[in-house]
Amino acid sequence: MNHSSAEAEAETIEPLRYISKGEVTAIETELLRDYRFGQQQLIEIWGQACALAITKAYPLSSLSKKQPTVLVICGPDQNGSIGLVCARHLRIFEYEPTIYHPKRSSHSLHQDFTVQCEKMDIPFLSYLPTEVQLINDAYNLVIDAMLGPEADIINIKEPYPGILATLKQVKIPIASVDVPSGWDVEEPSQDGINPDVLISLTAPKKCATSFSGKHFLAGRFLPYDIQKKYELNLPDYPGTDCLIEL
């Protein structure tokens, strides 16, 4: 390949698309309805990918504390379920997750994922210490699986505003699932939490354009026709990896 054709090829690679809240919903609806993915299947794919991203960003050998402790904070909706699956896979990868899950969903899937974690002897906290130093001392990092793209951030109900206030003060790293909690899907955050790692699921959301930390994307499972229809321009994933660092 000569120099000019290499340049031409470089120019034709479209940039990765950052999607809106409406596109998030549309893609998920198509996956469930037209492609016959199951809700449980998608949550499992995403949760496992999140756990793998954590192992890449924070390998066991790099953790500063004697025990490889991780605090996973789960919300009431789908992001919380993804957090539960992430915690279970981290346990399999020999981390020591603890789950804080203040508002449990009555959804049967959510309950199934909760039982799976309980059966893996993953402890659940009954309350989150407001004394930030206790969190800094007990855990290597926090995984924020609270308020996903589906959350109405104008009307965040308790206990989440209180948890977000605590997370703004912690000194240990935070890794957020899909959308940092409290951020608007469409807009870069002004005063929300400031995670060190973001794990975007399917495709990155518009709010992530301003994210400056370590950014992973887990969307390799997406059928080609959906990738094309929404012009996602997903990157080439390395080897057989299900996620890529952007």
Q: Which of 77-91, 168-182, 187-201, 218-232 has the lowest mean pLDDT?
A: 187-201
The answer on pLDDT for 238 being more than 60 is: yes
User: Rounded CA gap, 79 and 92, in Å?
Assistant: 20
Answer yes or no: are the C-beta atoms of 160 and 77 closer than 8 Å.
no
- Quick one: three-class SS letters along 103-134? CCCCCHHHHHHHHHHHHCCCCEECCCCCCHHH
The answer on pLDDT for 100 being more than 50 is: yes
**Cβ atoms within 10 Å of 106's Cβ, excluding its own:** 7
User: Rounded CA gap, 219 and 159, in Å?
Assistant: 31
Residue 12: predicted pLDDT: 57
Q: Which residue has the tokens 């959301």?
A: 205
The answer on pLDDT for 2 being more than 60 is: no
Residue 150's pLDDT band (cuts 50, 70, 90): confident
Question: At a CB cut-off of 8 Å and minimum separation 6, what does 60 contact?
Answer: 68, 93, 94, 95
More confident: 154 or 47: 47
Region 177-194: mean pLDDT is 88
Q: Which residue has the tokens 């399917």?
A: 202
Residue 78: predicted pLDDT: 94
Distance of CA 10 to the CA centre of its chain: 30
The answer on pLDDT for 10 being more than 50 is: no
pLDDT more than 70, % of the chain: 94
Residue 181: predicted pLDDT: 94
Q: pTM of this prediction? A: 0.93
DSSP string, 8-48: HHHHHPPPPPPBPHHHHHHHHHHHHHTS---HHHHHHHHHH
Region 88-103: mean pLDDT is 97
Residue 13: predicted pLDDT: 66
User: Rounded CA gap, 33 and 26, in Å?
Assistant: 10
Question: pLDDT tens across 157-185, in order?
Answer: 899 999 999 999 999 999 999 999 999 99
